[in-house]
């Protein structure tokens, strides 16, 4: 699982960097950039929340 999560985060990071690079070189305009970035940040948020939940469950198992 860790490898899958690592790959997903890496993919999201690379795509965000690509979007920012495209904006810097005027390949994408602000009206398209903002929704794309929001979508990517939402995907990262879901990944982080999933990891947080998994860690909480693991912590609870070891507390018992």
Res 49: pLDDT: 96
The per-residue pLDDT for range 4-56, each reduced to its tens digit, is: 889 999 999 999 999 999 999 999 999 999 999 999 999 999 999 999 999 99
Q: How far apart, in Å, are the Cα atoms of 33 and each of 8, 52, 57, 63? A: 20, 28, 36, 45
Q: How many Å is the Cα radius of gyration of the chain?
A: 16
* Res. 1: pLDDT tops 70: no
> pLDDT tier at 60 (50, 70, 90 boundaries)?
very high
Query: How is the chain split into domains, by residue range?
Result: 2-63
Q: How far apart, in Å, are the Cα atoms of 59 and each of 7, 37, 52, 56? A: 24, 33, 10, 5
Other C-beta atoms closer than 10 Å to the C-beta of 29 total: 10
Res 3: pLDDT: 87
């Amino acid at each position: 699982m860790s490898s899958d999560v690592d790959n997903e985060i890496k993919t999201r990071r690379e795509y965000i960097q690509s979007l920012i690079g495209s904006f810097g070189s005027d390949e994408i305009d602000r009206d398209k950039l903002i929704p794309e970035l929001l979508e990517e940040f939402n995907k990262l948020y879901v990944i982080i929340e999933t990891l947080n939940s998994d860690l909480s469950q693991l912590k609870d198992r070891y507390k018992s």
